[in-house]
Amino acid sequence: MGAGSSSIQSSVDLPQLLCCACVEQSTVAMEETCGRYDTVLDPGCHFMPWCVGRRVAGYLSLRVQQLDVRCETKSKDNVFVTVVASVQYRALADRAYDAFYRLSNAREQIQSYVFDVIRASVPNMNLDQVFEQKNEVARAVEEELAKAMAMYGYEIVQTLIVDIEPDEVVKRAMNDINAAARLRVAAAERAEAEKIQQVKRAEGEAESKYLAGVGVARQRQAIVEGLRRFVPDEKSVMDMVLATQYFDTIRDIGATSRAATVFIPHGPGAVHDVATQVRDGVLQAAAHAPAAGAR
């Protein structure tokens, strides 16, 4: 039965025809006499008189070998997924008889157990859980293989889940979902940044207007104090201040780039009319103030 295993080599070679057998390092040979198992040959050169019925039935490698198994199954949320398991195994020297004679093909046996465990474990998990718990799946495969292959003289060194491949359509959908989530976060961050910029811009404009108002107030105060030195009449001082403000307003309207067409009365008496209206408004407010206080 042992001649079919990938780790077992044929016994027909030139040294055996010369009544000797050479066993390589990390390899053992199975000696038979008249077709019956006799002993295990260790690495080295051995006398093998074929004329009396002694021969080497085959060689068994003791090196660690690797088998990659691709298993397609379905997750709990009905997503078809291909799981790639990598199994590292080796034959035990003290169990060479079992490894050679009791198992015809170790690789096919291991593959069958991998299929059985994966197809029993993955259908109980959602796709996200398969990715998160791949170590648990690998551990379940290794435990099952270790129990099954021990009776055949093989040791399971390690089992790894090296790849999980969902269906291509599902993979594209997962990428789209991830991309949409990232775009949503980016949009929120961009909106927050714009909000901060607008708030800071508004705060800057408010501070600028405040400082500009303070500057204008100080300017007009200085003008009034300067005029008082040379014009003792307060009415004349007020008329000159109003005239200055009037011309400043005309200048500002013409200087702004967003100004529309504005029709205002303008002439030699325009400033006088404005001053009269302001003065009458101040007098009316002063006249009504005592009456309001009396009530």
Q: Where are the domains of the chain?
A: 20-61, 65-166
Of the pLDDT bands very low, low, confident and very high (cuts 50, 70, 90), residue 1 is very low
Which pair of tokens denotes residue 215?
A: 């500057």
Given a cut of 60, whether residue 25 has pLDDT beyond it is yes
Question: What is the band of 11 on the pLDDT scale with cuts at 50, 70, 90?
Answer: very low
Q: What is the pLDDT of residue 52?
A: 78
Going by C-beta distance under 8 Å and a sequence separation of 6 or more, which residues neighbour residue 266? 250
List pLDDT tens digits, range 205-254.
888 888 888 887 787 777 777 766 666 666 666 666 766 776 677 677 66
For residues 203 and 22, what is the distance between their CA atoms, to the nearest angstrom? 92
Share of the chain above pLDDT 90, in %: 25
Question: Quick one: three-class SS letters along 135-178?
Answer: HHHHHHHHHHHHHHHHCCCEEEEEEEEEEEEECHHHHHHHHHHH
Q: How confident is the model at residue 6 (pLDDT cuts 50, 70, 90)?
A: very low
pTM over 0.75: no
The amino acid that residue 276 corresponds to is: T
What Cα–Cα distance (Å) separates residue 102 from each residue in 5, 28, 132, 150, 154? 11, 16, 38, 12, 11
SS3 content of the chain, % helix, strand, coil (to 5): 60, 20, 20
Q: What number does CATH give the domain 65-166?
A: 3.30.479.30
Q: What is the average per-residue pLDDT within 59-80?
A: 91
